[in-house]
A and B are shown apart, each in its own frame.
Chain A
Amino acid sequence: GAGVSQSPSNKVTEKGKDVELRCDPISGHTALYWYRQSLGQGLEFLIYFQGNSAPDKSGLPSDRFSAERTGGSVSTLTIQRTQQEDSAVYLCASTSTSGGSYEQYFGPGTRLTVT
């Protein structure tokens, strides 16, 4: 079946512009995560959605970052007034919390370059 998809795969933007990154999770998965990975670094947790619960935003680095998940499915990560330090690969993952495995399935990521 279809895995997690993300779009665009690559995004180049000028400093100060806003960007939107999209994630389509696996159908039926109730939990969705956003991570950021800078070059040569490990993954940095950003935000987590679980069902209808309030999202866990504890990883968002600043108020320029926000995310929403509409209808419990597609999620959009928005970065306002982008800065060069926002350049990274943004990864989305989803998981089914039934069955207790909590295995996260990752998308291919969006490579964001802020010039």
Chain B
Amino acid sequence: DAKTTQPTSMDCAEGRAANLPCNHSTISGNEYVYWYRQIHSQGPQYIIHGLKNNETNEMASLIITEDRKSSTLILPHATLRDTAVYYCIVRVSNTDKLIFGTGTRLQVFP
């Protein structure tokens, strides 16, 4: 199963873009990259996922490198409510199982 590596923590000023990196150098060609976030004391929340093309939705953008060995989640205008732990996950191929790592703790400050 492909593993992911993320920084333990990051800070971001309110209103600025938050760029959260993730390395997944052992990813297979048919494995998707998923991002979830967990706000304190809540269950994780789906953000976005992608295979090889960049993706954008109302919450964030996902940039995947051409070799697919890394990706970046972009929150274009971070707010205080975006303070959370962000998990980058590679979906195990041919199953629905997601393996969560320890994630990046993003602190948005005023």
Q: Could you tell me which A residues sit within 8 Å of B by CB distance?
A: 4, 31, 33, 35, 41-45, 48, 50, 56, 91, 93, 95, 97, 101-109
User: Are A45's CB and B102's CB within 8 A?
Assistant: no
Q: Could you tell me which B residues sit within 8 Å of A by CB distance?
A: 32, 34, 36, 42-46, 49, 85, 87, 91, 95-103
Contacts of A93 in B (CB 8 A): 43-44
Of all chain A residues, the one with the shortest Cβ separation from B91 is A102
Of all chain B residues, the one with the shortest Cβ separation from A30 is B96
Of all chain A residues, the one with the shortest Cβ separation from B97 is A48
Contacts of B43 in A (CB 8 A): 4, 91, 93, 106-109
Pick the 4 closest A-B CB pairs, nearest first: A106-B43, A43-B100, A42-B102, A103-B46
Of all chain B residues, the one with the shortest Cβ separation from A97 is B96
Query: Can you name 13 A-B pairs with beta carbons within 8 Å?
Result: A4-B43, A31-B96, A35-B100, A41-B102, A42-B85, A42-B87, A42-B101, A42-B102, A45-B98, A93-B43, A104-B36, A104-B46, A106-B43
User: Are B46's CB and A42's CB within 8 A?
Assistant: no
CB distance from B56 to the nearest CB of A (A): 16
The interface centre, meaning the residue of B91, B95, B96 with most chain A CB atoms within 10 A of its CB, is B96
Of all chain A residues, the one with the shortest Cβ separation from B103 is A42
Q: Give the residue of A4, A50, A91, A106 whose beta carbon is less than 8 angstroms from that of B96.
A: A50
CB distance from B52 to the nearest CB of A (A): 15
